[in-house]
Amino acid sequence: MSESIISVERVTKQVQDSTGVLTILHEIEFALAARQSAAIVGASGSGKSTLLSIIAGLDTPSTGTVRLAGHDLFALGEDARAAVRAAQLGFVFQSFQLLGNLNALENVMLPLELQGRNDARALATEMLRRVGLGERLSHYPKVLSGGEQQRVALARAFVVKPAVLLADEPTGSLDFATGEKVMELMFELNRESGTTLVLVTHDRGIAARCDRQLHIEAGRLVVAEAV
Ligand SMILES: Nc1ncnc2c1ncn2[C@@H]1O[C@H](COP(=O)(O)OP(=O)(O)OP(=O)(O)O)[C@@H](O)[C@H]1O
Ligand SMILES: [Mg+2]
């Protein structure tokens, strides 16, 4: 494989609970080249969201290393890690994480504004239109349906054309047709901008469209080969 954009090296995550130490992830190891797409699949509770959060530098591993675009994420301080994240990553959370005091347009403009772009409004409007929310620009998250909130979260992640897009069940709240449209957008971003995709999904069809399928069972990677 050529230069990896993501490299996960022996990542283990343990937490303390009332009964002792719980191992959520056990020595996970894989690497992705730029432009690759990977699906993380596995049963509920197997550790998929935890792994995605660690790759994003939002959660810390107990042991192991994550390299993102050449940066050893957990060797960096909090601020430097946040800067790498802002420069390289789009993240779509399972719970969307929209800012409630900003409307749809403002939520999508935010990452562009953080990059100091002066065309934020036009780009954010266009991206919301592409996810089918051109008529919902000034709606606040609390009046949007679950699927509409998910599409705002996707638009916010897509709009900066990140080097890496991490998405946790990105079509989980969408009807079939809208889900298809959103997936098309994601693979378009992959083709046109070279964005590396890492998707957690329960949808076999989506998993099959990815270059790689990473199967997690009870915190262990059981298959990690090219398909
Ligand atoms: N901070 C924590 N403390 C204790 N247990 C945790 C913590 N975070 C996650 N877990 C446990 O670790 C396991 C993996 O959680 P995770 O959210 O990664 O699963 P998942 O594969 O994303 O599941 P789903 O498909 O339901 O979203 C679960 O059993 C969860 O209860
Ligand atoms: Mg999850």
pLDDT in tens, the chain (227 residues): 457 999 999 999 999 988 899 999 999 999 999 999 999 999 999 999 999 999 999 999 999 999 999 999 999 999 999 999 988 999 888 788 899 999 999 999 999 998 899 999 999 999 999 999 999 999 999 999 988 999 999 999 999 999 999 999 988 888 888 888 888 889 988 998 899 999 999 988 899 999 999 999 999 999 655 44
Please report the atom of ligand 1 found closest to the CA of residue 46.
21
17 lines ligand 1 (CB under 6 A): yes
Distance 170 CA to ligand 2 centre (A): 11
Q: Which two tokens stand for residue 54?
A: 């660690």
Ligand nearest to the backbone CA of 15: 1
111 lines ligand 1 (CB under 6 A): no
13 lines ligand 1 (CB under 6 A): no
Q: What is the dihedral of CA 181, 183, 184, 185, to 10 degrees?
A: 90
pTM of the model: 0.90
Whether residue 35 contacts residue 196, with contact meaning beta carbons closer than 8 Å, is answered with yes
Q: Which two tokens stand for residue 96?
A: 């969307």
